[in-house]
Amino acid sequence: MKTKLAILLLAAAACIGTPATASARDIIIPADSLPQAARNFIATHFPGAAIFRAERDDDSYDVYLNNNIEIEFTLAGEWDNIDGNGRALPDSVIPAGILAYVRANYPSAFVVEIDRERSGYEIELSDRRELKFDKNGAPSGKPGSGGSGGKPGTPVPSAPVISTDDALTLNVGSMVGPGHIPLSVSSEAIAAGARFHAKGLPKGLKLDPHTGQITGQVTAKPGLYTVSFWTKQRSVKSAESRLVIAVNPFPVALTGTREVLIESAATSVPVGKLVLTVNAKGSWTGKLTRDRKTHSIRGTFASVAGDDSASNPLPLVIRRSRMAPLVIEAGDLGIDSDGEISVVVHDGSDIASGDDSLVVSSVRTWTGSYTPSLVLVPDGTEAGPDPLASTRVKISVKNRLTLKSTLPDGARVSASASGSATGRYAVFVNPYKAEGGCLAGNLQLAADLPRFDPDVNELVWQRPAAQKDKYAPQGGEAWTREVALAD
């Protein structure tokens, strides 16, 4: 009935030369801005429901309740249309004469929509019949017209049953699995060959016509989606059931760029770094550095409505030449509600992980250059080379740190990292040609800028095994020491 009315209104607008879009813009309004008569009507006839959304245009209000009921009110607060979206309307909103006629002539059906017109009322039944009545509730027009046709009691396929009265809330990026959307039909209908159909599903979701299961990942824009479901057996269509699906934006707290060092489970020494950028759709791109190689990766996070966290729904495999692939299993890459990245990377022989991330920010606490020295952190054993080489640190106006140094064994270090708003930087570089070496760690600017506090930063210098150089001409085992930046 709403579709017919919209077509007539558009035609009338064209006839008088007025643009049809002149009053088509709906404005979302607070529920308490509705006329008092409209609010009283809702409280009286739908006492257990809450207003999910309210909109106003030039000549009416559209109200969406959280039990899937939609009501159109005039500007004075009188109801014009009540749509149950496939569910039975309460008896109290149906004139007594109409209700009695339906019960007497269509005992297996119920009213799912009622429209108030100048000449009376038009209703839609659960078997898709549309009936007209005058202002006194007496039937007018042809009985049974507008629906499946024919006399009362004509059989139609079973309509899908949605076992919830509430609107379903999802996020952009939400994964929907079997049973998530509660849609069912009788086993007899399935056995008889009935097939499920849907219209208006948010983008990314798919309906299995044989089982009625809805699966996929939501990629639709945020908004309200009224979805119609029905079954069809041969050429006969059932009544429609409707469900309102509210798609919320991907959690904004999870967007942006983050960096995290990845440590070996066997040695607790950094073996790489992950830089991850997440957009408003939950899609992400990243750079995963593992030892000497940097790999570009991408994917889409799955989020859960009401839970500001997200994780990768599918495994990620990074192929490497003549080496075991790097594998991030489903659920092993994510961002928690505090905005922290966690990642677990398998490389065939070791497991590396990281969870102490920083959020990249262009806000900087200090810019300029500074020349500290790398010094060994005492550990009670052989002190090793002392002093280490001097270092040059520079922080740009975009809060980008560059660190350059020459280590005592001749290895030249050139590292860069983006920083957080608090002056924290995650540094990782392997300055050697062999696998297993690094200068890596988290640097934190001290409170009395500009310098890095040696009591806070956690740099690790690791020389790879069998490294031959002027520091160790005969090579030897891997050598690992903690170092710090000091004035």
Between strands 316-320 and 307-311, the pairing is: unpaired
Q: Is the pLDDT of residue 146 over 60?
A: no
User: What ranges do the domains of the chain cover?
Assistant: 2-55+69-140, 161-248, 252-359, 368-486
| Cβ count near 319 (within 10 Å) | 9
| Cβ count near 239 (within 10 Å) | 24
Q: What is the pLDDT of residue 34?
A: 95
Contact criterion met (CB below 8 Å) for 389 and 404: no
The single residue listed with the structure tokens 């710090």 is 484
What spatial distance separates the first Cα and last Cα of the chain, rounded to whole Å? 79
* Cα gap 203→223, rounded to integer Å: 12
Q: Is the pLDDT of residue 412 over 70?
A: yes
pLDDT band at 386 (very low <50, low <70, confident <90, very high): low
Q: Is 59 exposed, middle or buried (0-12, 13-18, 19+ CB in 10 A)?
A: exposed
pLDDT band at 468 (very low <50, low <70, confident <90, very high): low
The single residue listed with the structure tokens 């990620």 is 316
| Cβ count near 49 (within 10 Å) | 16
* Cα gap 116→484, rounded to integer Å: 79
Cα dist from 285 to 295, 300, 342, whole Å: 11, 9, 15
**What's the CA dihedral at 475, 374, 460, 451 to 10 degrees?**
-170
Q: What is the pLDDT of residue 17?
A: 39
Candidate from 198-212, 287-301, 462-476 with smallest mean pLDDT = 462-476
What percent of the chain stands above pLDDT 70?
Answer: 85
pLDDT digits (tens, 9 = 90+) for 82-106: 999 888 999 999 999 999 899 888 8
Higher per-residue pLDDT: 180 or 216: 216
Query: What's the CATH superfamily of 161-248?
Result: Immunoglobulins (2.60.40.10)
Q: Which 8-state DSSP code applies to residue 390?
A: B
pTM above 0.75, yes or no: no
Q: Is the pLDDT of residue 140 over 60?
A: yes
Contact criterion met (CB below 8 Å) for 348 and 428: no
Average the pLDDT over 340-365 and give the result.
89
* Cα gap 426→126, rounded to integer Å: 62
* Cα gap 23→29, rounded to integer Å: 16
* Cα gap 68→60, rounded to integer Å: 19
Contact criterion met (CB below 8 Å) for 73 and 60: yes
Q: Is the pLDDT of residue 5 over 60?
A: no
pLDDT band at 476 (very low <50, low <70, confident <90, very high): low
Q: Is the pLDDT of residue 439 over 80?
A: yes
Which of 3.20.20.150, 3.30.930.10, 3.10.20.600, 3.40.1420.30 would CATH assign to domain 2-55+69-140? Answer: 3.40.1420.30
Domain 252-359 has CATH 2.40.128: yes
Average the pLDDT over 219-241 and give the result.
85
Average the pLDDT over 141-147 and give the result.
48
Between strands 168-171 and 241-248, the pairing is: parallel
Average pLDDT along the chain:
83
Q: Is the pLDDT of residue 144 over 60?
A: no
- Phi and psi for 453 in degrees, rounded to 5? -75, 115
Contact criterion met (CB below 8 Å) for 218 and 205: yes
The single residue listed with the structure tokens 């008092």 is 36
Q: Where are the beta strands (DSSP E) in 126-179?
A: 130-134, 139-140, 161-162, 168-171, 175-176
Q: Is the pLDDT of residue 150 over 50?
A: no
What percent of the chain stands above pLDDT 90?
Answer: 40
Q: What is the pLDDT of residue 470?
A: 61
Q: Is the pLDDT of residue 251 over 50?
A: yes
Fold agreement (2-55+69-140, 161-248): no
